[in-house]
Amino acid sequence: MKRLTHVRLRPSRLPVCCLLLCGCLLCSSCRERPFSPEREIHVFTREDGSGTRTAFEELFGLLETDPDGKRASMTQPEAVVARSNGVVLSGVSADPAAIGYLSVGSLNHTVRALPIDGEMPTEEAIRSGRYPAARPFSLVTCGALSAPAADFLRFVFSREGQNTVSSAGYVPVCDGEHFVSSGVSGKVVLVGSSSVSPVMEKLREAYFLLNTAVNIEIQTSDSSSGIRSVAGDDCDFGMASRSLNAGERAQGLEEHSIALDGIAVVVHPENTAAGLTSGQVRDIYLGKAVFWHDAGVVQ
């Protein structure tokens, strides 16, 4: 007898149709629940070690220092950990009850940046220091610069360089003068923060248009290892998205702040919050404020 591979039992059409119909109904009936102050806050944060997270926690008092000098994050452990600014952006833009933070350079229209202590993260507010959450992007140097490195640094602080910073979405630190390259040739190596490297790539492109003879190499790791390599004379500049600490200054390192980056606190466009104080942001990230009305948000 030949093995029966199938029986003539077709799935009846009725249950299949019913199933499909149910599926469609389920999909259409479950819409996103609208924002209301009674909803729980869905907190988004970044991974441990990220420059943005460190700066955010520092600025909002979310770091506690142990007796032995180690600094640890106090962000509530239930917060969703996103791997990049982009993930925060897509997560917050999809969820009306979400809150997150990201670099102002990565901000776009899919989310709404909240005023913090009454200040929007505008270029002007960040530059004047009124916006409470801003950090410097800096180039760290150690001792005398090589000729091509000095030329590049001069470019960064020139009008052209600072315009590049501004068009990349960050806040320039000075107005600068017109740049004329000294025409040197050679190689410049930059190592450090992954937050700084995107704007540095743009600066490299702009510099290349003015002086093609200098070869600029950008290695991305993090602020601390960038500072370590420049101290060890392994590169010309360390890129840092935080300020130098006392120990690093003692090694004779110097920082040149090339741009300011605001950290924007973002929510879904439907969120009715008019703004938050830094204390409220802190409470949200500590897990003290669980619902939106705990953070003073009304309909």
Q: Please give the residue ranges that form the binding site for other proteins (CB under 8 A).
A: 1, 3-7, 9-10, 30-33, 40, 42, 47-50, 63, 66, 70-73, 77-83, 87, 90-91, 94-95, 97-98, 194, 222, 224-225
Which of 3, 178 has the CB closer to other proteins?
A: 3
Distance of alpha carbon 225 from alpha carbon 145, whole angstroms: 19
Taking only Cα atoms into account, the Rg of the chain, rounded to an integer number of angstroms, comes to: 25
Which of 49, 143 has the CB closer to other proteins?
A: 49
> 194 near 239, Cβ under 8 Å?
no
Which of 4, 14 has the CB closer to other proteins?
A: 4
User: Minimum Å distance from CB 130 to other proteins?
Assistant: 29
User: What does the longest C-alpha to C-alpha distance in the chain come to?
Assistant: 93
Distance of alpha carbon 76 from alpha carbon 285, whole angstroms: 6
User: Minimum Å distance from CB 287 to other proteins?
Assistant: 12
The DSSP line for 250-296 is: HTTEEEEEEEEEEEEEEE-TT-----B-HHHHHHHHHTS--BGGGGT
Query: Tokens for 216?
Result: 């600029």
Name the residue among 172, 139, 176, 144 with its Cα closest to residue 157: 176
User: Minimum Å distance from CB 228 to other proteins?
Assistant: 9
Q: How far is CA 75 from CA 45, 54, 80, 116, in A?
A: 8, 11, 11, 18
Phi-psi group of 65: left, alpha or beta (phi > 0 → left; psi -120 to 50 → alpha; rest → beta): beta
Bridge partners of 266, per DSSP, are 100, 113
Which of 219, 225 has the CB closer to other proteins?
A: 225
Which of 158, 268 has the CB closer to other proteins?
A: 268
Which of 117, 294 has the CB closer to other proteins?
A: 294
User: Minimum Å distance from CB 194 to other proteins?
Assistant: 7
Bridge partners of 218, per DSSP, are 190
Phi-psi group of 21: left, alpha or beta (phi > 0 → left; psi -120 to 50 → alpha; rest → beta): alpha
User: Minimum Å distance from CB 24 to other proteins?
Assistant: 14
User: Minimum Å distance from CB 106 to other proteins?
Assistant: 16
The HSE-up count of residue 257 (CA atoms within 13 Å, CB side) is: 15
User: Minimum Å distance from CB 293 to other proteins?
Assistant: 17
Which of 73, 163 has the CB closer to other proteins?
A: 73
Which of 33, 288 has the CB closer to other proteins?
A: 33
User: Minimum Å distance from CB 269 to other proteins?
Assistant: 16
